[in-house]
Amino acid sequence: MAARFIRIPYGSRLKFPATCPFTGQSNPRGKVNITLSNTQLWLPIPFIGSFRLRKVGRMAFSANSALAWAAKIVALLRLVSSPVGVVAFICLAKKGDAEKGSDGISYYFLIGGVVAALVFRIVHWLLLSRVRIVRIGAGGLEVRFASEKYASEFAGLNDFHASDHRSKKRATPITVNAVR
């Protein structure tokens, strides 16, 4: 089974097959959000802040309810693990300074929080890797489906074309005012 790619134009009303694109089970009752963000321009401005120009593509797919809950919990743990590690580091560092016998165990919580955040990010990616937004274009999104059957059903319901490979990135036309 090869991956299939479908270009989805912005503003189109989508119809979804009655199966989960992640597990293949029928009549899914949950919902999973798939996102992709591309930073196109980042300008640090001294003493003011930074200016960021980015594109964000979001799409919601129906999914198995157990998978939807697991994805939400892992996403929450990904966000919480780093701050919890920093708070534990600060609390233990203050306690260690008061006792003057600290053996440096507080650094393990700091490093552990960052490592846990990375592990949860990888687990979240693995849970939702069967459906991915691969490109954010000016006219729509390009989505990769791991299931060839689901992709052909989705394309048939919405009158889209499913291909075996990604579409080529087109050059963005630039208009320049004529100088006389």
| Partners of residue 51 on adjacent β-strands | 43
Average pLDDT over residues 155-171: 82
Burial of 40 (0-12, 13-18, 19+ CB in 10 A): exposed
pLDDT of residue 73 exceeding 90, the answer is yes
Whole-number average pLDDT of the chain: 85
Lowest-pLDDT choice from 4-13, 85-94, 147-156, 164-173: 164-173
Long-range contacts of 123-130 (CB under 8 A, 24+ apart): 123/74, 124/71, 124/74, 124/75, 124/78, 127/22, 127/67, 127/70, 127/71, 127/74, 128/22, 128/32, 128/34, 128/71, 130/21, 130/22
The tally of CA atoms less than 13 A away on the side-chain side of residue 28 is 23
pTM: 0.77
